[in-house]
């Protein structure tokens, strides 16, 4: 009987195990997890803090034991993995070693806490796990009046939204010059800034955090420009770091995550990696990078499972994008805002159907959408379509869909569109 190991039981690990079980009913699957909590969706933690969803909705697959039993999995819960040997195809946990036919690394990523001088032990939070969300909600319900959120990407702005829902006076800070720095064009960012500030939320950009210390009436945060802000709490939303300390980088290639090919296999035979702990090719840039999205984790887990048991399938690559509903507005960022090219726009920026884009040589390089989230899927598919079929124009179904959403024929042509 074949025996497989899955390290981590988040979304990607769940789908890897589920796929293996569906295709090979009589194999043994061992799941190692350093927590007894069920697979959770980290994207929903701020929704729980804001009171938009109940606790149980953080766990899309239900209770842990039920999920494990449904998949007929042998689980090692609260068993942190000490070592995965690529050469030996083995897992060391709890002082015991077990050899496997194939191993799936699905250990996810942890919230990044930078080495800030004087970082207090109390009053500083991160947002990644259900436990993180529970701790922050307890602080809010305990009566905090002010907060500093450091990091102006998706998690940071959603944390601000959650605090705003509880009438907590909040400052959003980032060393970048504006909000959503990896996805937003400057003119769109300026408009978002105006709308956020109109709600009473303070913004501080262009200066990094230098040091902190705890005083009786709050935490003092010192920035690299010499300014200081005192708040009741601080929330660090500064990205994540893959949880792969159990690996020997001499055995497996690691960049900003465990590097995998299109079959989700690492540089070592019989070792696969999926989800937030891995890096794949980003289709627009061609570079290896982590693209930590729930949808990617689902697909990667399934593809790894299929390849392990002899049903070859390739992952077509990740596409970096940002789709965020926050503080009463929708922002969608697609492509790379740092690329040069001709800037074109549709609609008025104050409207609920605005697009600002960069085009070069007839190709769409970047698009920012404000308001009409329904067109984001069309634009995402157009980006991918360009990469797969660069000699083609926008297909008819795409053009018709945009026209139905109020996008003009003239603008569709500007971004490279006509019928095939």
Would the pLDDT of 109 be above 90? yes
Helix/strand/coil percentages in the chain, nearest 5:
30, 30, 40
Digit-coded pLDDT (tens) for 298-307:
999 999 999 9
Same-domain status, 249 and 232: no
347 in a structural domain: yes
119 in a structural domain: no
pLDDT at 287: 86
Same-domain status, 96 and 15: yes
Task: Give yes or no for a contact between 417 and 398, defined as CB atoms under 8 angstroms apart.
Answer: yes
Same-domain status, 230 and 254: no
Distance CA 336, CA 339 (A): 6
Q: What is the DSSP string of 113-178?
A: ----BT--SSSEEE-SSHHHHHHHHHHHHTT--EEEEE--SHHHHHHHHHHHHTT-EEEEEESSSS
Tell me the three state secondary structure of residue 376.
helix
- Over residues 287-309, the mean pLDDT reads 94
Contacts of 193 (CB under 8 A, 6+ apart): 178, 179, 203
- Give the model's confidence band at 76: pLDDT under 50 very low, under 70 low, under 90 confident, else very high: confident
Tell me the three state secondary structure of residue 233.
strand
Q: In angstroms, what is the C-alpha Rg of the chain?
A: 23
Q: Which of 236, 265, 297 is the last residue of a domain?
A: 236
- In the chain, the number of structural domains is 3
Tell me the three state secondary structure of residue 397.
helix
pLDDT at 117: 95
322 in a structural domain: no
pLDDT at 391: 64
pLDDT at 393: 66
Q: What are phi and psi of 412, to 5 degrees?
A: -60, -40
399 in a structural domain: yes
Same-domain status, 137 and 77: no
What residues make up the domain containing 284? 3-110+241-308
- Over residues 385-390, the mean pLDDT reads 73
Distance CA 381, CA 396 (A): 13
pLDDT at 308: 98
- Give the model's confidence band at 420: pLDDT under 50 very low, under 70 low, under 90 confident, else very high: very low
Distance CA 251, CA 351 (A): 53
Same-domain status, 154 and 206: yes
Same-domain status, 32 and 85: yes
- Over residues 357-375, the mean pLDDT reads 89
Mean pLDDT for the chain? 92
Digit-coded pLDDT (tens) for 4-38:
999 999 999 999 999 999 999 999 999 999 888 88
- Give the model's confidence band at 390: pLDDT under 50 very low, under 70 low, under 90 confident, else very high: low
Digit-coded pLDDT (tens) for 171-183:
999 999 999 998 9
pLDDT at 384: 81
Same-domain status, 180 and 202: yes
Specify the CATH number for the domain of residue 351.
3.30.390.30
- Over residues 156-163, the mean pLDDT reads 97
230 in a structural domain: yes
- Is this model's pTM higher than 0.75 or not? yes
Same-domain status, 183 and 225: yes
Q: Which of 205, 236, 267 is the last residue of a domain?
A: 236
294 in a structural domain: yes
Q: What is the DSSP string of 309-351?
A: TT-------B--EEEEEETTEEEEEEE-TT--SEEEEES-TTS
Structure tokens given for 326? 């926050």
Same-domain status, 225 and 283: no
- Over residues 213-224, the mean pLDDT reads 96
Same-domain status, 34 and 133: no
Would the pLDDT of 152 be above 90? yes
420 in a structural domain: no
- Give the model's confidence band at 283: pLDDT under 50 very low, under 70 low, under 90 confident, else very high: confident
319 in a structural domain: no
Specify the CATH number for the domain of residue 33.
3.50.50.60
Tell me the three state secondary structure of residue 265.
strand
Would the pLDDT of 388 be above 90? no
pLDDT at 135: 97
Same-domain status, 152 and 218: yes
- Please state, as a whole number, how many other Cβ atoms lie within 10 Å of the Cβ of residue 37: 18
Q: Which of 207, 236, 265 is the last residue of a domain?
A: 236
Would the pLDDT of 418 be above 60? no
- Over residues 76-86, the mean pLDDT reads 91
Same-domain status, 232 and 129: yes
pLDDT at 36: 84
């Amino acid at each position: 009987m074949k025996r497989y190991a899955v390290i981590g039981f988040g979304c990607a690990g769940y789908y890897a195990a589920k796929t293996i079980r569906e295709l090979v009913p009589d194999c043994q699957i061992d799941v190692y997890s350093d927590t007894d909590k069920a697979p959770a969706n980290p994207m929903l933690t701020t929704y729980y803090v804001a009171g938009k969803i109940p606790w149980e909705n953080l766990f899309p697959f239900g209770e842990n034991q039920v999920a494990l039993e449904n998949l007929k999995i042998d689980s090692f819960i609260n068993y942190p993995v000490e070592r995965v040997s690529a050469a030996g195809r083995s897992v060391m946990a709890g002082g015991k070693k077990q050899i496997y036919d194939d191993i799936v690394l699905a250990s996810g990523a942890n919230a990044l806490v930078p080495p800030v001088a004087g970082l207090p032990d109390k009053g500083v939070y991160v947002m990644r796990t259900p436990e993180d969300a529970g701790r922050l909600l307890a602080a809010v319900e305990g009566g905090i009046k002010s907060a500093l959120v450091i990091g102006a990407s998706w998690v940071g702005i959603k944390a601000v939204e959650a605090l705003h829902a509880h009438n907590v006076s909040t400052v959003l800070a980032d060393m970048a010059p504006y909000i959503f720095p990896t996805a937003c064009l400057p003119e769109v960012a300026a408009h978002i800034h105006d709308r956020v500030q109109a709600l009473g939320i303070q913004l501080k950009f262009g200066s990094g955090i230098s040091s902190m210390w705890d005083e009786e009436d709050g935490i003092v945060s010192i920035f690299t420009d010499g300014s200081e802000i005192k708040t009741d709490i601080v929330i660090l939303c500064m990205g994540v770091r893959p949880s792969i300390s159990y690996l020997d980088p001499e055995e497996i290639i690691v960049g900003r995550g465990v590097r995998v090919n299109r079959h989700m296999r690492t540089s070592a035979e019989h070792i696969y990696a999926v989800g937030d702990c891995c890096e794949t090719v980003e289709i627009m840039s061609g570079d290896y990078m982590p693209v930590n999205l729930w949808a990617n984790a689902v697909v990667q887990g399934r593809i790894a499972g299929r390849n392990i048991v002899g049903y070859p399938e390739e992952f077509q690559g990740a596409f970096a994008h940002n789709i965020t509903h926050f503080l009463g507005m929708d922002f969608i960022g697609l492509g790379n805002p740092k690329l040069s090219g001709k800037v074109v726009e549709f609609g008025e920026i104050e409207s609920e159907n605005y697009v600002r884009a960069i085009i070069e040589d007839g190709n769409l390089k970047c698009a920012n959408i404000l308001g009409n989230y329904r067109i984001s899927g069309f634009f995402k598919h157009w980006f991918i379509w360009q990469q797969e079929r660069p000699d083609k124009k926008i297909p008819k179904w795409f053009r018709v869909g945009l026209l139905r959403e109020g996008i003009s024929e003239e603008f569709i042509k500007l971004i490279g569109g006509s019928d095939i």
